[in-house]
């Protein structure tokens, strides 16, 4: 499992850059925001001949893993992703040449390049719900061709009868996969003068809001995003179109190709949500 490890100095920079544990300037309450998973798109190395990242889809899907359920061995050589835990005790992960690790509620793991793994629900009684935020080749034709989906390391482990592959579980009937959102990268409108797709970071932010708190109006035109609520209820207002939607726990919305957005905790309790986004490193003001 690949994790983000922050030194003390980096953690302090993150606190100020993303507003972590800082008073909200939009009210008396505090809003905390933390980046729980981040991949530089320029760091993704696909196998030769596979579909270029800019021709893929930006997808968010939900996986329901049954109690004590197993997600069989698979490769992320052709599918860079960030996985986030949205409900349940947590996920145990066993990856090739790495020790067993765990991810708890509202945490995330990084899955890209030579990452091959299997996983399991840590609870024997409760369903585990996770999201994957990935750059997917859905098999559709681009540039008048269907691209191969090479996974050379995975195929080598299989051909060599490597013990990691041989003894890994290969079950996929312990989970239910539901696509929540998918947008072709070529359909995303990146503002002129801002970071290109390949200059951006794929990341998940966790936002925690006390009852009644609001982010204030923020411009999402440079932040293609999906939002999913983990706890409580939030109201998402698009001030440009003068529309408002209430999003309950485990519900999601697309904020891609939108403009000025305000998110408010409309419940009487703490709310937690994930923002899955294509972040421009020059943009330090989004919380």
CB 201 within 8 A of CB 278: yes
| Confidence label for 241 from pLDDT (cuts 50, 70 and 90) | confident
| Confidence label for 267 from pLDDT (cuts 50, 70 and 90) | confident
Across the chain, how many H-helices and E-strands are there?
Answer: 3, 19
CB 188 within 8 A of CB 259: no
Whether residue 15 is predicted with pLDDT greater than 50 in this model: the reply is no
| Confidence label for 28 from pLDDT (cuts 50, 70 and 90) | very low
| Confidence label for 3 from pLDDT (cuts 50, 70 and 90) | very low
Chain-centre distance for alpha carbon 36 = 9
Q: Report the share of the chain in percent with pLDDT over 70.
A: 89
Q: How much is the average pLDDT of 21-41?
A: 74
Instruction: Provide φ and ψ at 279, rounded to 5°.
Output: -90, 135
Task: Give start-end residues of each CATH 2.60.120.10 domain in the chain.
Answer: 8-41+188-279, 46-184
Helix (H) or strand (E) holding 216: strand 214-219
The structural architecture, per CATH, of the domain 46-184 is Sandwich (2.60)
Whether residue 202 is predicted with pLDDT greater than 70 in this model: the reply is yes
pLDDT tens string 242-260: 999 999 999 999 999 999 9
| Confidence label for 172 from pLDDT (cuts 50, 70 and 90) | confident
pLDDT tens string 227-237: 999 999 999 99
CB 150 within 8 A of CB 41: no
The DSSP annotation for 83-130 comes to: EEEEESSEEEEEETTS--EEEETT-EEEE-TT-EEEEEES-SSS-EEE
* Cα maximum dimension of the chain: 61
The structural architecture, per CATH, of the domain 8-41+188-279 is Sandwich (2.60)
Whether residue 5 is predicted with pLDDT greater than 80 in this model: the reply is no
d(CA 83, CA 105): 11
Whether residue 25 is predicted with pLDDT greater than 80 in this model: the reply is no
pLDDT, residue 26, reads 42
Residue 108's DSSP bridge partners are: 84
Starting at the earlier edge strand, list the strands of the sheet with 271-279: 22-23, 30-40, 201-209, 271-279, 225-231, 252-254
């Amino acid at each position: 499992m690949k994790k983000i490890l922050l030194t003390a100095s980096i953690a302090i920079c993150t606190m100020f850059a993303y507003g972590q544990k800082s008073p909200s300037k939009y009210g008396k309450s505090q809003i905390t925001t933390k980046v729980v998973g981040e991949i530089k798109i320029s760091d993704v190395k696909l196998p030769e001949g596979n579909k270029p990242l800019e021709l893929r889809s930006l997808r968010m899907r939900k996986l329901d893993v049954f109690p004590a359920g197993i997600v069989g061995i698979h490769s992320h050589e052709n599918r860079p992703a960030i996985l986030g835990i949205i409900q349940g005790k947590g996920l145990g992960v066993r990856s090739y040449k790495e020790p067993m690790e765990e991810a708890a509620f509202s945490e995330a793991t990084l899955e890209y390049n030579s990452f091959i793994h299997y996983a399991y629900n840590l609870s024997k009684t409760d369903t585990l719900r996770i999201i994957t935020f990935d750059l997917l080749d859905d098999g559709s034709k681009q540039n008048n061709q269907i691209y191969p989906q090479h996974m050379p390391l995975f195929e080598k482990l299989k051909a060599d009868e490597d013990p990691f592959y041989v003894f890994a579980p290969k079950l996929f009937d312990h989970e239910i996969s539901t696509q929540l959102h998918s947008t072709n990268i070529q359909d995303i409108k990146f503002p002129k003068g801002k970071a290109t797709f390949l200059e951006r970071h794929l990341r998940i932010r966790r936002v925690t809001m006390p009852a009644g708190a609001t982010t204030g109006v923020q411009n999402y035109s440079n932040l293609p995003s999906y939002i999913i609520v983990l706890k409580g209820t939030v109201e998402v207002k698009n001030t440009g179109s003068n529309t408002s939607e209430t999003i309950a726990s485990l519900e999601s919305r697309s904020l891609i190709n939108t403009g000025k957005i305000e998110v408010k905790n409309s419940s009487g309790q703490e709310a937690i949500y994930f923002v899955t986004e294509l972040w421009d490193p020059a943009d330090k003001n989004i919380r």
